[in-house]
Amino acid sequence: MNIVKANGIELAWNSYGHADAEPILLISGLGTQMMRWSEPFCKGLAARGYRVIRFDNRDAGCSTHFRTSPAPDFGALAAALMAGRRPDVPYTLYDMAADAIGLLDALGIAKAHVVGRSMGGMIAQVLAGDHADRVLSLTSIMSSTGNPALPQAAPDVMAMMMRPAPDPMIDPEGFLAVRLAFARRIAGTGYPLDEDAHRTVLLEEVRRCFDPGGTARQIAAMAVAGDRRARLANITVPTLVIHGTDDPLIPPACGQDTALSIPNAVYLPIDGMGHDLPREFEIRIIDAMCDVMKGRSCHEGT
């Protein structure tokens, strides 16, 4: 793991593949750390001739945490948004996109293929829309546009996501039980959740940093992002949108809306995939990404 200063903060990162190869920047989702982009996935992309860079977003992992900013009051946040007021939040998705640009700057990278999952997909969309000169292609996975007319997460899924987990330093088994139950709920029907592998990732994340306040601040950043469709309409780089047909957290309609909002985007729904990236789907996703990154059209459909 490496640490660089970028956009006024510190970002933790590592990479796979040759330093001179064409770069891919992987952006993680809400409250998760860089290792959610699995080593086999990163090595699979590197084997295709790319330099694969993954990093911890601000308020996650070993990157800078904004602990001096209190965790948002979600009731007040929702009330402000309903009233049409812009709530005060510690930072926005646009700040997080600026972090990614700062990381590229620190690494001496002029342009990169940008790939994001969930919240990371939203950040990747901002990069492609607002920093087009730095983006070679966009892959948005299990993400959304901010369109207020889109369906929301299933109520029980939202409740599980917002439920505080026990402190893993005090009750590690209770913490794992809560997090694994959520992972099972958002997994698709195509392949069962690999609970041993997921438990290992959860424990590694705890070892590196446990900061539920950071996740809350990231939620606030997403909440104020608004409808991004007008920005997405200006994206001109080759774009791939991937979404699981079983996603109960960000429903498939959100992926469809993303693809419809970006000119000439390729939409790839994956049967049986939920809000996760099972190992069994990795090769198919890598193949589709490489087709778009190399300027080829990939097969649309399941």
- pLDDT range class, residue 300, cuts 50, 70, 90: very low
Per-residue pLDDT tens digits for 87-125 = 788 999 999 999 999 999 999 999 999 999 999 999 999
Per-residue model confidence (pLDDT) at position 179: 97
Per-residue model confidence (pLDDT) at position 286: 97
> Please, which residues bridge with residue 112 across strands?
135
pLDDT for 15 beyond 50: yes
- pLDDT range class, residue 296, cuts 50, 70, 90: low
pLDDT for 182 beyond 80: yes
Class of domain 2-155+211-293: alpha beta
pLDDT for 297 beyond 60: no
Side chain identity at residue 162, one-letter code = M
pLDDT for 174 beyond 90: yes
Q: For residues 272 and 146, give the distance between their C-alpha atoms in angstroms, rounded to a whole number.
A: 24
Side chain identity at residue 18, one-letter code = H
Per-residue pLDDT tens digits for 134-145 = 999 999 999 999
| Average pLDDT value for residue range 169-190 | 96
Q: Name residues whose C-beta falls within 8 Å of residue 300's C-beta, 6 or more positions apart in sequence.
A: 266, 267, 268
Q: For residues 96 and 52, give the distance between their C-alpha atoms in angstroms, rounded to a whole number.
A: 19
Per-residue model confidence (pLDDT) at position 18: 95
Asked which of 71-85, 114-128, 252-266 is least confident by mean pLDDT, the reply is 71-85
pLDDT for 226 beyond 50: yes
| Average pLDDT value for residue range 235-251 | 97
**Structural domain boundaries of the chain?**
2-155+211-293
Q: Are 244 and 252 in contact (CB under 8 A)?
A: yes
Average pLDDT across the chain, whole number: 94
What letters, b where the CB count within 10 A reaches 16 and e where it falls short, cover 267-294?
bbbbebbbbbbbeebeeebbebbbbbbe
Residue 246 vs residue 69, higher pLDDT? 246
pLDDT for 267 beyond 70: yes
pLDDT for 302 beyond 60: no
Per-residue model confidence (pLDDT) at position 77: 74
Per-residue model confidence (pLDDT) at position 86: 77
